[in-house]
Amino acid sequence: MAEIRALDPLLVNQIAAGEVVERPASVVKELVENAIDAGAMRIRIELERGGIERIEITDDGCGIEPEQLLLAIAPHATSKLRRAEDLHAIATMGFRGEALAAITSVSRFSIVSRAAGRDIGVRLDGEGVRFDRPAPCGAPPGTTITIRNLFFNTPARRKFLRTVQTEYGHISDLVGRLAMSHPALGFILVHDGATMLDLPPRQSPQQRILEVLGRELERELLEVSQEDAALERPISVWGFIGTPAVARGSAKHQHFFVNGRFIRDRTIAHALREGYRGLLDPTRLPLAVLYIEMDPAQVDVNVHPTKAEVRFRETQSIHGLVLTAVRQRLLLADLTPAANVPGLRGDVRWSNGDAPLVTTQPTSARAFVEHFRSLDPVQRGFAYQELREALKDEDLGEENIFAQTSATPGNGAATATAGQAVRILQVHQSYLVVEDAEGLSIIDQHALHERVMFEELKARVLAGPLESQRLLMPSVVEVRPEQIALLEALRALLERIGVEAEPMGPRSIAVHAFPSFLFERRVDPVVFLTELFDRAAEEGFSPEDEAALHEVLDMMSCKAAVKAGDRLSEEELNELLRRREEIERRGSCPHGRPTTIRLTLRDLERQFGRR
């Protein structure tokens, strides 16, 4: 066995750098977080070649006392912790005391700082673990740290850096997140002499989000707000979520902040996605900027070297809070997309009405009534169920409310004004055209009927197993040998939807009972069960998971719904639109495709040259 020896200090710091400093963006993150902790109001980030050659961070914070400058670059030296108990309630951005030591060990650096109350600053230059003695110098209040030639003494690390543009892209994304999490602070980002971002201090969160993400999103963001005050230590969530129109193909556009710290968290991401279930294509992810505030003692931020992941003490409470906030806000929004007419701006636009960006949800029944009265007939149809909920605990005279607003339950988007007869045109036995208050609504009859079927099935299965019908002769489903084992795993789920099946040899399953609902819609048991077992084998969903139930109900509703090309009678058309007004998320099918698009009067006037 080789002799055990203490590691060289340079090697110790370089090992730490391997955990903390992955690329130039890691340096920017640690230094900007230190500037935030120092009480800075303005932070300037200057880069050369994506930060590979130079990173300079200047702040107007409290500065570093001259006698503490050498200690600041020593490993595990910090002003933010005093005792072990402090680790259980961390309220600062940095706390480990290893960032500066790790960064300076793999760079050529200089630190210039002037502490609050001092007339002169102090400068420290060095490279690796070698440095000059600190020397007095003129300097403005605050600190400037310059990092040059990152990884100059670890060439193996330096060669793994990407292109200048890639490294700059990581820094740009990082600075944007830091700016959104601290809208009261000013940020300037300069790359190769060009100012890329200039954000003034004291912006509102809304202003800052739009500055960073783009003002074109202003009409596509919905404000969410929710608090769990029942907990001993309350937790709140606030922020903005995007309409389905601005959903993205990756999670890059989901920004979660806990007590001002950007994090990645599967619990929050899952709750967000569940809130959009049925509104988005499964390949798309919602855009969101969510701020969660909670007692620092309820979250452990000391579980990852870069502090990008956390551990919550109340995981289920966090999940429920985010899910409720997202679902309630989406229920209040009119998400009907505008038709894609040549000459109109954009490909598909999701109408959010003419409401301003910030529309805080009413917090009382009376406030909700006032909100309801301000809506047009179309929007009242979408908000009707929420109004009923608001009226549960207060006697506000529901009939009078509807009389005063000239709205009656169930009108929704199907009529232009209350009491007017519904006029429906079926186009090519596939689409329905109806007049509404804003112009015309064009409905995909299959997509809408699929949503109606899905919501009705979901309500029935939650009340108990679906009614089933015994078969005179069992239907035989041919499956692969490995799928036979799935039958037992899926048995509880199959029983909930009214399917009774047993193995019948090594490659077949006998179906003895089938949901009456699907029988009535002439759905073939063999076709349905074959697809179900194929999906279960490929996707591996858990039968106990709510998502698995939704998947199966989605299959059932898709099979049972009217198809494109089916001619509907006048009674069937009216019944479909009536049922449309009674369900949630009527704007999309369970797969996330829109059921309805809108062609507004403004669009028509523009196309005919009236505007």
Give the CATH number of the domain where residue 283 resides: 3.30.230.10
My answer on whether 82 and 124 are in the same domain is yes
Is 58 within a domain?
yes
Residue 292 half-sphere exposure toward CB, CA atoms < 13 A: 32
**What pLDDT is stored for residue 402 in this prediction?**
42
pLDDT tens column, 527-543 = 999 999 888 887 766 66
Considering 164-168, 244-248, 297-301, the range whose residues carry the highest mean pLDDT is 164-168
pLDDT tens column, 449-488 = 999 999 999 999 989 999 999 999 999 999 888 788 888 8
Non-local (6+) Cβ contacts of 600 within 8 A are 338, 351, 438, 439
Non-local (6+) Cβ contacts of 236 within 8 A are 225, 226, 227, 228, 292, 293, 294, 321
Segment among 99-103, 131-135, 227-231 with least mean pLDDT = 227-231
Tell me, what CATH number does 539's domain have? 3.30.1370.100
**Domain interval for residue 230:** 205-331
My answer on whether 177 and 252 are in the same domain is no
pLDDT tens column, 165-197 = 999 999 999 999 999 999 999 999 999 999 999
Residue 65 scores a pLDDT above 90: yes
**What pLDDT is stored for residue 436 in this prediction?**
80
Is 245 within a domain?
yes
Helix axis angle, 525-539 relative to 546-560, nearest 10°? 150
Residue 593 scores a pLDDT above 80: yes
The residue out of 146, 170, 199 marking a domain boundary is: 199
My answer on whether 145 and 255 are in the same domain is no
My answer on whether 177 and 254 are in the same domain is no
Is 497 within a domain?
yes
User: pLDDT-derived band of residue 498, with 50, 70 and 90 as boundaries?
Assistant: very high
**C-alpha span between 477 and 559 (Å, rounded):** 17
What is the mean predicted confidence (pLDDT) over 363-372?
A: 54
Which of 146, 128, 110 lies closest to 24 in space, CA to CA? 146
- What total of structural domains would you count in the chain? 3
My answer on whether 494 and 604 are in the same domain is yes
The residue out of 199, 233, 256 marking a domain boundary is: 199
User: pLDDT-derived band of residue 305, with 50, 70 and 90 as boundaries?
Assistant: low
Mean pLDDT of the chain: 82
My answer on whether 194 and 210 are in the same domain is no
What is the mean predicted confidence (pLDDT) over 356-371?
A: 46
Question: Global pTM?
Answer: 0.68
The residue out of 301, 331, 361 marking a domain boundary is: 331
Query: Residues of 425-440 as b/e, b for ≥16 C-beta within 10 angstroms?
Result: ebeeebbbebbbbbbb
pLDDT tens column, 258-272 = 998 898 999 999 999
What is the mean predicted confidence (pLDDT) over 402-408?
A: 39
My answer on whether 218 and 188 are in the same domain is no
My answer on whether 50 and 94 are in the same domain is yes
pLDDT tens column, 540-579 = 666 667 778 888 999 999 999 999 989 999 899 999 999 9
Is 553 within a domain?
yes
Is 452 within a domain?
yes
My answer on whether 486 and 572 are in the same domain is yes
Tell me, what CATH number does 16's domain have? 3.30.565.10
Number of Cβ atoms within 10 Å of the Cβ of 497: 23
Is 387 within a domain?
no
Residue 411 scores a pLDDT above 50: no
**C-alpha span between 554 and 559 (Å, rounded):** 9
My answer on whether 132 and 248 are in the same domain is no
Is 449 within a domain?
yes
My answer on whether 454 and 569 are in the same domain is yes
Is 584 within a domain?
yes
Contact present, 547 and 567 (Cβ < 8 Å): no
My answer on whether 152 and 217 are in the same domain is no
